Amino acid sequence: MSEICFDLIFELILYVIFVIIVAIIVDTTGMSEDSATFSCILVIVVFLLLGAKASKLGKGVNLDIDGDGEISDKEWADLDGDGKLSVDETDLLTQQNPEEAIEPLVTESHTNDEWWIDDDK
């Protein structure tokens, strides 16, 4: 029961605030009540959309996995964030760097991964 009363009181307060804003707009700009109401609703919708977009902007990817403050080539190439370089990630790394610089990174990444062990050797 108290939840229903709170909801009713909250909606009533919001409605009164909305009516006051519309009355101020009508009085100061000379708009009709309908156009002032439409303008208020439009502004509210725009703010809600911008707020939703702004909340999504804060969600990013942490590329600095080891926490040293710099993003290394290996961290940059690790697209899925698992700490191991897959074949596609290695290809991306080789496109950006010479082969000699990449070999230690690839070897380090694949020594702990069981699927990389060659049984042919």
Percentage of the residues of the chain whose pLDDT score is greater than 90: 31
Of 113, 93, 109, which is closest to residue 101 (Cα–Cα)?
93
Looking at the predicted structure, is the pLDDT value of residue 33 above 60?
Answer: yes
| Secondary structure (3-state) at 63 | coil
Indicate the domain borders of the chain. 2-57, 61-111
Over the chain, what is the mean pLDDT? 75
pLDDT digits (tens, 9 = 90+) for 3-20: 888 889 999 999 999 999
Cβ atoms within 10 Å of 59's Cβ, excluding its own: 6
Inter-CA distances, 37 with 18, 27, 32, 121, Å: 9, 13, 9, 77
pLDDT digits (tens, 9 = 90+) for 93-102: 666 666 655 5
**Residue 100 token pair:** 């000699």
Question: Quick one: average pLDDT of 16-31?
Answer: 92
